Amino acid sequence: MNYMDKYKEWRNNPYFDKETKEELLNLEGNEKEIEDRFYKDLEFGTAGLRGVIAAGTNRINIYTVRRATFGLANYIIKNTTEEEKSRGVVIAHDNRHMSREFCIEAANTLAACGIKAYIFDSLRTTPELSFAVRNLNTIAGIVITASHNPPEYNGYKVYWEDGAQVMPHIANAITEEINSIHDYSTIPTLTEENKNLVVTLDEKADTEFIEAVKKQVIRKELIEKVGKEFKIVFTPLCGTGNKPIRRALSEVGFENIIVVKEEENPDPNFAGIEYPNPEEQKALSRGIELAKRNGADLVIATDPDCDRVGVAVKTTTGDYALLTGNQIGGLLTDYIIEGLKEKSELKENSTLIKTIVTSEFGADIAKANNVEVLNVLTGFKFIGEKIKSFEENNNEKTYLFGYEESYGYLVGTHARDKDGVVASVLISEMAAYYYSKGMSLYEGLMSLYEKYGFFKEKTISITLKGIEGLAKIKDIISYFRENEVSSMGDFKVVDMKDYSKGIDNLPKADVLKFFLKDGSWVAIRPSGTEPKLKFYIAVKGINENEATDKIDNINKYIDATVNSLIIENKEATSKLYC
Q: Which residues are catalytic?
A: 147
If one counts every other C-beta atom within 10 angstroms of the C-beta of residue 492, the result is: 12
| Integer angstrom CA distances of residue 516 from 303, 367, 453 | 34, 21, 17
CB 44 within 8 A of CB 175: yes
Partners of 499 in beta bridges: none
CB proximity list for 415: less than 8 A, separation 6 or greater: 127, 128, 130, 131, 163, 212, 422
Partners of 123 in beta bridges: none
Q: E strand or H helix at 153, and its extent?
A: strand 153-160
Q: How far, in Å, CA of 156 to CA of 166, rounded?
A: 12
If one counts every other C-beta atom within 10 angstroms of the C-beta of residue 478, the result is: 11
Cα Rg of the chain, angstroms: 24
Q: How far, in Å, CA of 133 to CA of 130, rounded?
A: 5
**DSSP-derived 3-state class of residue 468:** helix
Q: How far, in Å, CA of 13 to CA of 8, rounded?
A: 8
Can you point out the beta strands (E) in 294-427?
298-302, 309-314, 320-323, 350-355, 372-376, 398-404, 408-410
CA atoms within 13 A on the CB side of 492: 2
CA atoms within 13 A on the CB side of 89: 32
- What is the torsion angle, in degrees rounded to the nearest 10, for the CA atoms of residue 373, residue 374, residue 375 and residue 381? -130
